[in-house]
């Protein structure tokens, strides 16, 4: 959409070029007509013939290259948006190369098609220059001009005017093509225009870890953690709680109570203003990159990319047999087994998964988190967009999956929280353990 907006704005530039160059070309042709009508007619016929030949030979290629350029440009912008929308998953699952390599290929293909376009558009200038000089020579020969010196000023003026008309013809030709090209973007923009909310995400600088083989073994402890995005305006204030390995913990809180902030602190994307987070006796700052490798996360809003179903769940181009077994298992647990049929396996998911319902996107998001073998699984509002029947099926499947795993569930749904052995409530900047 961003690319379509940019191209639609360029329509104004194209229209400006067409008006300016048309006026200039009309003026040049008028002067040539007044100087010599025969030369004017010959030049006009030559230009028209060349334009017709050029359009016959290259019109289809221009459309194909233009369509390819537009496709790769659109994918490039989508890839950038995906990298922002999937910021947490990219950092948690170390997917930088997955997205960067695709962006690099799309950039190369976009530039390659643009260069082919520029080459085709520049060819007529060379051809017209050669033909104009040839036309002047034939004009001299045809009229058997004996004393050519008397006509040098006239021919010089005709040559200058003819050569000056060439850039205008080329500019008009390119503007005409761009006008058609950008018009399709405008049409697309009118049909698909919608507001995109960009969510700011914050990340601390990467740090080197001294613990290369870190595995979560014992507990997560928040010690006197305070955090606020603005000075003297804490969202969380001196909170203390512990999550033990294999705990299934529920976290409940109203909107704005600090649930998302708590997750960002746990992921190490933001640092507390005071206090510290300790993992197995180690400060989170020292093991942040290794710690992220221990986490699988299903966000509240599932962002799907314009790839295949398999790539959306695994973030891989190819998978092994064991990965395929795990993929099928994750789809089965998330009540998405019907996605394994041929229809869905061959379906390329549209931008943000718009060809899937909210419930389908949510279940694919759960399957994405379940596919990964991690120490800790975090589910943010796992029942949103799902009906009661689907919720019951999913959590009946998850009951066995949760065995011997550390799970954090952020939800208001009592059906989710009944599986938890601990439930914490966020209220008034504090965290409280629910007493059973």
Q: What is the mean pLDDT of residues 166-181?
A: 68
Give, in order, the Cα–Cα distances in Å from 138 to each of 17, 40, 135, 235, 338.
33, 14, 5, 85, 74
Q: What is the mean pLDDT of residues 385-398?
A: 88
**φ, ψ dihedrals at 378, nearest 5°:** -120, 125
Q: How many Å apart are CA 383 and CA 361, to the nearest integer?
A: 12
- In the CATH hierarchy, which fold is given to the domain comprising 2-192? ABC transporter transmembrane region fold (1.20.1560)
Q: What is the mean pLDDT of residues 180-204?
A: 45
pLDDT at position 147, please? 62
Q: What is the mean pLDDT of residues 140-148?
A: 62
Q: Is 118 a residue whose pLDDT tops 70? A: yes
- Strands 422-427 and 406-410 come out as unpaired
Q: Is 254 a residue whose pLDDT tops 70? A: yes
Q: Is 163 a residue whose pLDDT tops 80? A: no
Nearest to 299 by CA among 417, 408, 420, 189: 408
Q: Is 194 a residue whose pLDDT tops 70? A: no
pLDDT in tens, 328-363: 899 999 998 777 665 556 677 876 677 788 888 999
Q: How many Å apart are CA 15 and CA 11, to the nearest integer?
A: 6
Share of the chain above pLDDT 90, in %: 28
Give, in order, the Cα–Cα distances in Å from 340 to each of 329, 330, 344, 345.
11, 11, 6, 6
C-alpha R_g of the chain:
32
pLDDT at position 204, please? 38
Q: What is the mean pLDDT of residues 55-69?
A: 74
pLDDT in tens, 13-29: 777 777 887 888 888 87
pLDDT at position 198, please? 31
pLDDT at position 178, please? 66
Q: What is the mean pLDDT of residues 64-78?
A: 81
Q: How many Å apart are CA 257 and CA 226, to the nearest integer?
A: 13
**φ, ψ dihedrals at 219, nearest 5°:** -160, 165
Using 50, 70 and 90 to split pLDDT, how confident is the model at 188?
Answer: low
How open is the CA angle 207-213-214, to the nearest 5 degrees? 70
pLDDT in tens, 227-249: 998 888 899 999 999 999 999 99
Task: Pick the more confident residue, 377 or 160.
Answer: 377
Min mean pLDDT across 71-75, 183-187, 196-200, 219-223 is at: 196-200
Task: Pick the more confident residue, 207 or 403.
Answer: 403
Q: How do the domains of the chain map onto residue ranges? A: 2-192, 246-257+286-433
Q: What is the mean pLDDT of residues 186-206?
A: 41
Share of the chain above pLDDT 70, in %: 76
Q: What is the mean pLDDT of residues 319-329?
A: 90
Q: Is 196 a residue whose pLDDT tops 50? A: no
**φ, ψ dihedrals at 203, nearest 5°:** -140, 140
Q: Is 266 a residue whose pLDDT tops 50? A: yes
Domain boundaries 246-257+286-433, corresponding CATH code = 3.40.50.300
Q: How many Å apart are CA 416 and CA 243, to the nearest integer?
A: 18
Min mean pLDDT across 46-50, 185-189, 263-267 is at: 185-189
Q: What is the mean pLDDT of residues 311-336?
A: 90
Using 50, 70 and 90 to split pLDDT, how confident is the model at 270?
Answer: very high
Task: Pick the more confident residue, 352 or 406.
Answer: 406
Q: How many Å apart are CA 49 and CA 74, to the nearest integer?
A: 36
Q: What is the mean pLDDT of residues 402-427?
A: 87
Across the chain, what does the average pLDDT equal?
A: 80
Task: Pick the more confident residue, 130 or 177.
Answer: 130
């Amino acid at each position: 959409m961003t690319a379509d907006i940019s191209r639609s704005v360029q329509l104004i530039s194209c229209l400006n070029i067409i008006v300016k160059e048309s006026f200039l070309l009309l003026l040049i042709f008028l002067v040539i007509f007044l100087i010599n009508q025969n030369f004017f007619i010959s030049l006009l016929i030559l230009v028209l013939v060349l334009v017709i030949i050029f359009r016959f030979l290259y019109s289809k290629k221009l459309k194909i290259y233009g369509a390819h350029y537009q496709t790769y440009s659109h994918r490039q912008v989508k890839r950038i948006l995906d990298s922002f929308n999937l910021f947490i998953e990219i950092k948690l699952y170390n997917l930088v190369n997955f997205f960067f390599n695709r962006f690099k290929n799309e950039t190369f293909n976009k530039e390659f098609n643009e260069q082919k376009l520029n080459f085709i558009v520049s060819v007529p200038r060379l051809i017209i220059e050669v033909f104009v000089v040839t036309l002047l020579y034939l004009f001299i020969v045809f009229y058997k001009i004996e004393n050519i010196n008397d006509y040098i000023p006239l021919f010089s003026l005709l040559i200058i005017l003819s050569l000056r008309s060439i850039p205008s013809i080329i500019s008009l030709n390119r503007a005409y093509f761009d006008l058609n090209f950008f018009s399709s973007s405008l049409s697309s923009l009118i049909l698909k225009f919608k507001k995109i909310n960009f969510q700011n995400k914050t990340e601390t600088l990467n740090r080197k870890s001294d613990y290369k083989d870190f595995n979560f073994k014992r507990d997560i402890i928040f010690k006197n953690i305070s955090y606020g995005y603005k000075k003297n305006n804490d969202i969380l204030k001196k909170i203390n709680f512990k999550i033990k390995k294999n705990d299934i913990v529920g976290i409940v809180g109203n909107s704005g109570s600090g649930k998302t902030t708590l997750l960002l602190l746990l992921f190490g994307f933001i640092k507390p203003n005071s206090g510290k987070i300790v993992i197995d006796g180690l400060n989170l700052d020292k093991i942040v990159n290794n710690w992220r490798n221990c986490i699988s996360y299903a966000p509240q809003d599932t962002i799907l990319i314009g790839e295949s179903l398999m790539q959306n769940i695994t973030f891989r181009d190819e998978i092994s047999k064991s990965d395929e077994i795990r993929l099928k298992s994750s789809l089965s647990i998330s009540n998405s087994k019907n996605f394994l049929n041929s229809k869905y396996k061959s379906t390329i998911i549209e931008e943000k998964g718009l060809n899937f319902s909210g419930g389908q996107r949510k279940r694919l998001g759960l399957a994405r988190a379940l596919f990964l073998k991690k120490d800790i699984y975090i589910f943010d509002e796992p029942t949103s967009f799902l009906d009661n029947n689907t919720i019951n099926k999913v959590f009946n499947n998850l009951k066995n999956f949760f065995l011997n795993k550390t799970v954090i569930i952020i939800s208001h749904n009592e059906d989710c929280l009944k599986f938890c052995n601990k439930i914490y409530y966020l209220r008034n900047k504090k965290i409280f353990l629910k007493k059973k």
